[in-house]
Amino acid sequence: MKQTQLLKGVLEGCVLLIISEGEIYGYEMVQQLKEYGFVDIVAGTVYPLLQKLEKQELLSSEMKPSPDGPDRKYYQLTPTGIQYCREFIVQWENLTTNVNQIITLKGANVHE
């Protein structure tokens, strides 16, 4: 199984949690995700995701001048985005607890 299939469902939550620390622009998000170990993430994945999250009103954005060239679109969480983050954390903790329990109990059957 490819990691991308597993990642698809959690990337939104991870992106929103990173933005919860403060506003961020697209390229900076790509770099942050890479720093957290998502080395295969590319801008072609992140930019459409940011647009989707903004359309869902989980993010808002603002164009600001850049010292390095054209203006940048900075994203920040909306109140709805903050609530989504809270729900994501609870759901993730429940999911990982359940999966870890199954791995602990049944994982030995597949190790050689």
Sketch the domain layout of the chain as residue ranges: 3-107
Question: How many C-beta atoms lie closer than 10 Å to residue 15's C-beta?
Answer: 24
CA-wise closest residue to 40 among 85, 89, 2: 2
Q: For 3-107, which CATH class?
A: mainly alpha
Q: Do residues 87 and 10 lie in contact, with contact meaning Cβ atoms separated by under 8 Å? A: no
pTM of the model: 0.87
81-99 pLDDT tens trace: 999 999 999 999 999 999 9
How many helices (H) and strands (E) would you count in the chain?
A: 4, 3
| pLDDT computed for residue 54 by the predictor | 97
**22 has a pLDDT exceeding 90:** yes
Closest CA to 29 of 8, 15, 39: 15
Under the banding of pLDDT at 50, 70 and 90, the label for residue 111 is low
pLDDT digits (tens, 9 = 90+) for 38-91: 988 889 999 999 999 999 999 999 999 988 889 999 999 999 999 999 999 999
Say which residue the tokens 């890479």 belong to.
34
Backbone angles phi, psi at 39, to 5 degrees: -70, -20
